[in-house]
Amino acid sequence: MSLTSDPRPAEPVAPVQPGGIRCDRCGAPLADDQEWCFACGAARTVIHPPPDWRIPVAVIAAVVVLVLAGFAIALIELAGVG
Contact call for residue 28 and Zn ion (CB under 5 A): yes
φ/ψ (deg, to 5) at 4: -85, 140
Binding-site size, Zn ion (CB under 5 A): 8
Amino acid at 7: P
Of residues 42-61, which lie at the interface with Zn ion (CB under 5 A)?
42
Q: Which is nearer to Zn ion, 17 or 69 (CB)?
A: 17
Q: From the list 16, 25, 65, 66, which residue makes contact with Zn ion (rule: CB under 5 A)? A: 25
Contact call for residue 30 and Zn ion (CB under 5 A): no
Question: What per-residue string of b and e applies to 6-41 under the rule 16 or more CB within 10 Å gives b?
Answer: eeeeeeeeeeeeeeebebeeeeebbeeeeeebeeee
d(CA 13, CA 1): 34
Contact call for residue 37 and Zn ion (CB under 5 A): yes
Binding site for Zn ion (CB under 5 A): 23, 25-26, 28, 37, 39-40, 42
